[in-house]
A and B are shown apart, each in its own frame.
Chain A
Amino acid sequence: MSMALGILARFGAMLVLLLVNGVMLIYMLRKVLGHLHLRIGPNRVGPFGLLQTTNDVIKLLTKEDLRPASADAWLFNIAPFLIFVPSFMAYIPLVFGPTLAVTSLDTGLLLAFALTSLVPLGVLMAGWASNSKWSLIGGMRAAGQQIAYEVPLLLSALGPVMMAGSMDPVKIVAAQSGVWLGFIPRWFVLPQLLAFVVYAISSQAETQQTPFDMSEAESELITGFANEYGGMRFGFMYLAEFSNTFVVSAIGTMLFFGGWQLPWVATPAWLAPFVFIAKTYTGIFVMMWARGSLPRFRVDQMLSFCWKVLIPVSLAWVVVWACVQRLWPVVAMAVSR
């Protein structure tokens, strides 16, 4: 009984986090893009426009649930949830503090990546079921893109995994405590800089943000796969997009930036989640920055960039790092605790 309650409480907390986070991220996106674009962003509803997103959510909730007459009813209805649920579940392996995680899994990282890779299925389904040419093209693009960028994303995560010797996020974060040479924080971003660059680019593509937003491509496909969706079904897709952004940024924080730990000083347990969120939001800010300033790739350029540049580079880096860590005693010493 108490165990069931515990699980319920954890999932409830996750859901609250996800919703609050989604609302905050939408507000943040509007404000960040606004200031990047020499405008102000929302500032009418509530102090500093903070309640604008809440208003929008209420609007989405009260809208009529429309479905095109020619759409495939079943797939059309299911697709938003297939997009939303995996991105919700990907919160499971996130580590917010020394004792603050839903659960500790030996394969936590793998689980997160496996769950985010389910998203293209829902996107493709949404594109197909809408029975609209624009949606179909958008869905196809999204599927091709996310499947392709899944590979470098995973490969770039292997470097930190090798350094920590575990796929458990709790252990990966723990392996980044302390300092090298007395003053450099043991964050994996320093030795794994190349892997981090690949990770950053792939995660931008994985969350379908400019310059990789081909599946939405406002100026080409209007909104691509989400074209025919309205009301809260659209809201779910939107929420999933922001939740994915949070997840990839959070995983990046855990893999490369020491998770919840402050550099040089011991982190009090109560401060850990705030540090983690701050780091994650910094990552998200950089993603939004790119989104606000760059034009979009063309779909073939994007795919060939992935297959011909990112994958070989990250694959080569995995091999190189494995050799370095194995054969170079200094590095092996530095990596081992």
Chain B
Amino acid sequence: MTDEPRITTPITAEGTTFPGPLPCGLRCIPRGVDELATEHLVLNMGPQHPSTHGVLHILVELDGEEVIAAEASLGYLHRGIEKLAESRRYHQVPTLLDRADYLSGLHSETAWALTVEKLAGIEVPRKASWLRALLMELNRYASHLVWLGTFGMDAGAMAPFLYIMRDREMLLDVIEAITGSRMMFNYVRPGGVAADLPAGVDAKIRAWLDVADTYLDENDALLGGNEIFRLRMKGTGVIDRATALAFGMTGGCLRASGVDYDLRRDVPYCAYPELDFEVPLGVRGDNMDRYDVRVGEMRQCIRLIRQLIDGMPEGEFSGRRSRVLKVPAGECYAAVESPRGELGIHLVSDGGFTPYRMRLRSPAYFNLAVVDEALAGGLIADAIVTLGSLDIVLGEIDR
């Protein structure tokens, strides 16, 4: 054996051992032996595990089935997007941002466009704002669909994942018709959007809207209406209001804990001030609340898309024709409500053709931080569904 065992096991009590300092730097080392002299087990969940939604690595300390402590270990999908952005021109950055949150690229793109426009003082035509809002809502729905399916998978139900794919395919066809791509859109540009709505897409969206409600009700009944599912969700993974705020959680996770905060309504941008929608709220902050809040959001999405498609204004879709952009020196921050929460971009410019520094405030990163608190005390099965309920996207967390 060339490689030494990485965990040393000093003898602590008669015939029992506890693992010493851990290689990955688990912040709280296993608390060792309890009264019954049983050993705690440190389990490496991930980075290759079907339910860590990508390449998340969680160290969980187990006492039998019970999770005593948990800690997330990140960075397996780090691509240096923020650093790469420093050597990209302003119109090239959305290409990178699409790959940050790969389930809702249009939100990152819009956040970027809003930030640049704010700093450079670019006016956006009204139609572009509406188009952005429309695309963001379509994208939010698609992202929530993936969450719904994978959440079902985490709970052990395979069916919802394949049912949501039926809906998502239809939706992605719509998005593809507008942006030309299913995932990596590069559609929202500083100053407007890349293209107008193509002819006939209106009918396509309406055809989708006609079935979306029914499909959502079906999916909700299949998963949320299931007694086994409700039994598992109620009272597990509780994140109370204070904890949620302390960890800087945003989006559905925060609203499930009872905090009424939605950027679309509270810090309005794009077309949202002109639209009518509600913000679903939870009470207890458990997995069931997070489920209900997200499904409620999906219903609001459908409502918003109806309004957006009915009231779509006429006019220019982009205010700028030149792609080369020089942004005056300074710094600014702008954020949008992504499916996961407050997706903000802090941009520092030195007046050149490329950003001096770009930082992404990725909501899932903050939402994930709470796992240390939320997972402890539950069982392994609870840990998996709690993690699923946070709706993490590793591309955005590791960047």
Chain A residues in contact with chain B, CB under 8 A?
A: 33, 36-39, 133-134, 137, 141, 210-211, 213-214, 217-222, 292-301
Contact = CB atoms under 8 A, between A and B. Distances in A.
Contact of B163 (A38, A296, A300): A38
B50 interface: yes
B379 A219 contact: no
B384 A220 contact: yes
B211 interface: no
Interface string B144-184: 00000000111111110011011000000000000000000
A297 B226 CA distance: 11
A287 to B, nearest CB: 15
Contacts of B269: none
Contacts of A133: 41, 43
Task: Report, nearest first, the 4 A-B pairs whose CB atoms are least far apart.
Answer: A296-B156, A295-B157, A37-B162, A295-B155
Contact of A292 (B152, B159, B381): B159
A219 B51 contact: yes
B263 interface: no
A219 B166 CA distance: 22
B231 interface: yes
B244 to A, nearest CB: 24
A133 B62 CA distance: 11
A295 B163 contact: no
A295 B379 contact: no
Contacts of B382: 298
A134 B43 CA distance: 8
B385 to A, nearest CB: 9
A286 to B, nearest CB: 16
Contacts of B155: 219, 295-296
B49 interface: yes
Nearest to A134: B43
A135 to B, nearest CB: 12
A332 B47 CA distance: 63
Main secondary structure of the interface of B (DSSP, over half): helix
Given A39-B162, A137-B380, A220-B384, A294 B49 contact: no
B222 interface: yes
B384 A37 contact: no
Nearest to A298: B381
Contacts of B24: none
A299 B228 CA distance: 12
Given A214-B381, A294-B156, A299-B65, 4 more contacts: A137-B62, A219-B153, A219-B154, A293-B222
Interface string B8-44: 0000000000000000000000000000000001010
B40 to A, nearest CB: 12
A221 B163 CA distance: 24
B223 interface: yes
Contacts of A137: 62, 65, 380
Contacts of B156: 210-211, 213, 217-220, 294-296
Contacts of A219: 50-51, 153-156, 384
A128 to B, nearest CB: 14
B159 A220 contact: no
B79 interface: no
Given A217-B156, A296-B157, A222 B49 contact: yes
Nearest to B44: A133
B78 interface: no
Interface in B44-89: 49-51, 62, 65
A38 B223 contact: no
Given A37-B158, A38-B166, A220-B380, A295 B152 contact: yes
Contact of A220 (B51, B162, B223): B51
A177 B73 CA distance: 65
A302 to B, nearest CB: 10
Contacts of B380: 137, 220-221
A292 B158 contact: yes
Interface centre among A137, A141, A220 (most CB of B within 10 A): A220
Given A37-B159, A137-B65, A293-B222, A298 B379 contact: yes
A154 to B, nearest CB: 25
A28 to B, nearest CB: 16
14 contacts: A33-B158, A37-B159, A137-B380, A210-B156, A210-B157, A211-B228, A213-B156, A219-B50, A219-B156, A294-B156, A295-B223, A295-B228, A296-B156, A300-B65
A220 B381 contact: yes
A275 to B, nearest CB: 31
Nearest to B163: A38
B384 A295 contact: no
Contacts of B379: 298-300
A218 B381 contact: no
Contacts of A294: 156-157, 226, 228
Interface in B110-164: 152-159, 162-163
A37 B155 CA distance: 16
B51 to A, nearest CB: 4
Contacts of A292: 158-159
B222 A218 contact: no
A220 B383 CA distance: 9
Contacts of A210: 156-158
B102 interface: no
B299 to A, nearest CB: 22
Contacts of B166: 38
Given A210-B156, A220-B51, A295 B162 contact: no
Interface string B198-223: 00000000000000000000000011
B161 to A, nearest CB: 8
Nearest to B166: A38
Interface centre among B156, B166, B228 (most CB of A within 10 A): B156
Contacts of A296: 155-157, 228, 381
Contacts of B159: 36-37, 292-293
Contacts of B158: 33, 37, 210, 292
Contacts of B41: 133
B277 interface: no
B356 interface: no
Contacts of A300: 65, 379
Contacts of A218: 50, 156
A141 B380 CA distance: 12
A36 B156 CA distance: 15
Contacts of A293: 157, 159, 222
A222 B223 CA distance: 21
Nearest to A144: B65
Given A37-B158, A133-B41, A295-B223, A222 B231 contact: no
Nearest to B222: A293
